[in-house]
A and B are shown apart, each in its own frame.
Chain A
Amino acid sequence: MGTSITAGSLLSLAVTVTSEQHVERVLRKTVEGLASQPGVALVRIWLVPSVHLPNAWREGAHSQEGKEHLRLVASAGNPIKSPGEDWSFLQGRFSRFKLNVGKVGQVAANRHPIFIKDFAPGDSWVAQPEWAQREEIRSFAGHPLLFQEKLLGVIGLFSRRPLEEQEFAWLGLFANHAAIAIANARAFEEVAERQKAEAEARELANGLESKIRRLVEANVVGIAIWNLEGAITEANEAFLRMLQYDHQDLASGRVRWTVLTPSEWRDSDERAIAELKATGIFQPYEKEFLRKDRSRVPVLLGGALFERSGNEGVAFILDLSEQKRAERALRRSEVFLAEGQRLGQIGSYSWRVATDEITWSEQLYRIYEFEIGAPVTLELIRSRVHPEDLTLYEKMVEQARNGGSNLGGNFEWQYRLMMPDHSIKHLHAVARASRDQDGQLEYIAAIQDVTARRMSEEARDKARSELAHVARVMSLGTLAASIAHEINQPLAGIVTNASTCQRMLAAAQPNIDGALETSRRTIRDANRASEVITRLRALFNRKETAAEWVDLNEATREVIALSLSGLQTNQVLVREELADDLPPVLGDRIQLQQVILNLLRNAADAMSTIADRPRVLLVRTERDEGNQVRLSVKDSGVGFTPQAADKIFEGFYTTKPDGMGIGLSVSRSIIEAHHGRLWATLNDGPGSTFSFAIPYTVDGLAGAENRVNRVGTGAT
């Protein structure tokens, strides 16, 4: 090794570094190569930011920092006083230089080299005089790194021997080469980075492409490639299937955007194209496409241009038929519900108790006669409530606010509204408590306008009383038939006997004995007919309905005799069990017979549908405890339900399809007028028994007197 830096060694180093393609290696080899030259203590390179910051280099612009700062990027040297020190260290006090500051800053600012051949001991401009002294630094050479007149940085060299002028000059030439090497290496790196970026982009694109291909082939959504002229160049199966086209149609160019779009949707398409041209994409919107058969399919459409300023793009198309159908079905069911509510005169509402938020159905507005859509408040509802029902209404609201726990959360009540024209509406409300999604108390209620029903109930009651009159007339008709039967029976005997008598006497040999017998029968039957007529007259003559002593057995027999034919027609077998020792009762014979007749008829009616057992009717009279006589009518009919037991004596209650339901209530009032009672019990077997009991004596004397009379009557 020589004692000075030679041109040859520098040329060799220059060739080495210029072959490097990485800036970092150029810098390292440069400083290390120079540091190994004779007498060299330390070599450093500072670069401007535009060079050491790759982006700044690429952009070709100087940052603010670049104008003012140099950054230490490479360092190498040979410490003698402290051999362990690392002089390749890049941080610390001299890692940055401002332009014009220090020797390095001056070189950069002036783009002019500085050469200090030999330091004077204690030279004031040396930044670290003690370091320079300790390391025996004698000389400094600083050269700018210039490439195509652009400053890349500064290279500085400290030497332990005074450098020759020639050495300084060669170092200048070397600095030019180093600058070229740095620029070249940077250029290589740029290319490599760009290639790498491009490779990454390619890889990314490949990945994306395969993802898109999977999306296209999955046929979950319709996908079409199109251009701004309206042609559809490619499409997946889903798209074609949606619109009933095939790949041949597509290849033929027939499938164009305009062909697919009904005229009223052209405007929407125009807007989407305008958006595409402005932003490269368009926001998804709903439209309709025409299928090949010209039917329509609702779709959701979204898409983008492949390139911002390009002509071609992709569209994603979702078939909305199912959603639309569901929406229509929902709308229809809402309409049906509203219609059902209208027909049923039923409105519904929900009431969130905490917020008093009330939602009303349209029909409820109609019922309350509020303008549809008007906000509904409890106060507004209250204004319609009938004054007499306000207390009830407020009580219900209060209970509802408390959760209605005492009512199990369910309410049912009837109340009235008074409309502005003072007409009355009857409402029936049913409400159910529930918790909404926030856990708040909410009532769902249905309210029915039952005014019409109430009116018809009232009308029905009125009709019933009219019908009751008709029923009375009709029962007279039945009675008339009974009367005819009772009289015609003896009359048949009379006519037959009289005819026979006539024939016996008119014969060639008159049969006198036979004629006498038949005429005797004629007289007897005529008397019998007369008795029937007398009884009937008694039955209908109201003048004789005053209180009298009535033999209940006799009265019962008469009623049975009168109704027997009707009972027989209905195939009812009548059995009598009449007590021999029955005391007479004081009362209205006709009225009591009406009661008995009514009980018999009810019993017969109760058995009219019985086919699996005999229709047996048992009429029984007997002494009852407490000085009463009791009459009971036992049938084998359908009986009555326990629920009906209390009702059957009420007016207008009936289980018979053609009944009027007045008989038993009238009967009970008759019996009660006789200080007795009328009741019904279910039999152990089938059917029921209706009974009445009447006191037969007010005091012992009256009863005794009465018995004497009866005996006397019976004797005549």
Chain B
Amino acid sequence: MQSPDGRGITQRPMVAIIDDDASVRESLPDLLGEFGFSSTVFSSAEEFLASEAVDQMNCLVADIAMPGMTGLDLQKELRIRGHKVPVIFITAQKEEAVRRRALDGGAMGFLVKPFSDTALLEALNAALGLD
């Protein structure tokens, strides 16, 4: 399978999708596939951190409000572990304080659900340095 830009599967950027909402885990991989990215889904931050994917991802798309470890906790944990992987947050709750904390923590994007496909693509391109 070829991506629109002709790069091979192994060269596709790897994106982890972390969200407790099943509909997001279901729909986002298809859209990312249309963008030409490869993706893996996780239903919690803990699950993601426990996986091997944590060292392989080029970018994270993560929910903020999740049971247990939140998206912001995840961001902090990655920073502590020395991972410099870019993070794009997607959240159903538009809270300015949370947004500021996320961006201050180095987030490359902060998208409020429902977000448009182009907004997500721009954020991904910025995060991956593709534009």
Q: Which stretch of B6-14, B22-30, B50-58, B123-131 is in the interface? A: B22-30
Chain A stretch 492-536: residues in CB contact (< 8 A) with chain B: 492-497, 499-500, 502-504, 507, 514, 517-518, 521, 525, 528
Whether B117 pairs with A499 at a CB distance below 8 angstroms is yes
Distance of A104 Cα from B94 Cα, bound (Å): 149
Q: Across the interface, which residues of A come within 8 angstroms of B66, CB to CB?
A: 568
- Minimum CB distance partner of B94 in chain A: A484
Query: Which residues of chain A have C-beta atoms less than 8 A from B21's C-beta?
Result: 489, 492-493
Chain A residues, CB < 8 A from B31: 496, 499-500, 503
Q: Is the CB of A569 within 8 A of B114?
A: no
| A353 located at the interface, meaning its Cβ lies under 8 Å from any Cβ of chain B in the complex | no
Contact with B along A475-502 (1 / 0, CB 8 A): 0000001001100111111111101101
- A493 close to B70 (CB less than 8 A): no
B103 within 8 A of A: no
Instruction: Produce 1/0 per residue, A129-154, CB < 8 A to B.
Output: 00000000000000000000000000
Query: By the criterion CB–CB under 8 Å, are B26 and A568 in contact?
Result: no
Closest to A566 in B: B65
CB distance from A528 to the nearest CB of B (A): 8
Q: Are B23 and A500 in contact (CB under 8 A)?
A: no
C-alpha spacing A569/B68, complex, angstroms: 9
Tell yes or no: A278 within 8 A of B by CB. no
Q: A488 to B31: give the CA distance in the assembly, Å.
A: 18
Find the B residue at minimum CB distance from A482: B93
Q: Which residues of B contact A500 (CB under 8 A)?
A: 27, 30-31, 34, 117
Count how many chain B residues have C-beta atoms less than 8 Å from C-beta atoms of the other chain: 25
Q: Which of B31, B34, B114 has most chain A Cβ within 10 Å? A: B114
Is the beta-carbon distance between A481 and B93 smaller than 8 angstroms?
yes
- Produce 1/0 per residue, B72-101, CB < 8 A to A: 000000000000000000101110000000
A499-B116 CB under 8 A given contacts A568-B67, A573-B67, A573-B68: yes
A494 lies within 8 A of B30 (CB): no
Query: A496 to B92, Cβ gap below 8 A?
Result: no
Verify A484–B92 contact, CB threshold 8 A: yes
Asked if B67 and A496 make an inter-chain contact with CB atoms under 8 angstroms apart, the answer reads no
- For A100, list chain B residues within 8 Å (CB): none
Kindly state the separation between the CA atoms of A507 and B34 in the bound complex, as whole angstroms. 9
Number of A-B contacts (CB under 8 A): 85
Q: Given the complex of chains A and B, what is the CA–CA distance between A493 and B28 in angstroms? A: 8
Say which residue of B26, B28, B65, B114 sits within 8 Å of A565 (CB atoms): B65
B26 touches A492 (CB 8 A): no
Q: Once the chains are docked, how many angstroms separate the CA of A500 from the CA of B26? A: 12
Judged by a CB distance under 8 angstroms, whether A571 is at the interface is yes
* Complex partner residue of B117 from A489, A494, A496, A571, CB under 8 angstroms: A496
> Smallest CB-CB separation from B64: which chain A residue?
A569
Nearest-neighbour CB distance to chain B for A83, whole angstroms, equals 144
For A499, list chain B residues within 8 Å (CB).
31, 116-117
**CB of A513, distance to nearest CB on chain B (Å):** 11
Quick one: closest B residue to A501, CB to CB? B30
Given contacts A491-B114, A568-B65, A568-B66, A484 and B27 within 8 Å (CB-CB): no
Contact of B23 with A489 in the complex, beta carbons under 8 Å: yes
Query: Of B23, B70, B117, which one neighbours A569 at CB under 8 angstroms?
Result: B70
Given contacts A488-B112, A491-B113, contact A496 B24 (CB under 8 A): yes
Q: How far is the CB of A481 from chain B (nearest CB, A)?
A: 6
- Contact status A514-B92, CB under 8 Å: no
Nearest B residue (CB) for A502: B117
Distance in angstroms between the alpha carbons of A565 and B66 in the assembled complex: 8
CB neighbours (8 Å) of A484 from chain B are 92-94
The 10 A-B residue pairs with the shortest CB-CB distance, nearest first, are A493-B23, A492-B113, A499-B117, A495-B114, A488-B92, A491-B114, A496-B27, A503-B34, A492-B114, A500-B31
* Known interface pairs A495-B116, A518-B27; 13 further A-B residue pairs with C-beta atoms within 8 A, sorted by A's residue number: A481-B93, A485-B92, A488-B92, A488-B93, A488-B113, A490-B23, A492-B114, A493-B26, A500-B27, A500-B30, A503-B31, A528-B23, A568-B20
A-B pairs with beta carbons under 8 Å apart, 8 shown: A484-B92, A488-B92, A495-B116, A500-B117, A503-B117, A504-B34, A507-B34, A573-B67
Interface residues of chain A, those whose CB is within 8 Å of chain B, are 481, 484-485, 488-497, 499-500, 502-504, 507, 514, 517-518, 521, 525, 528, 565, 568-569, 571, 573-574
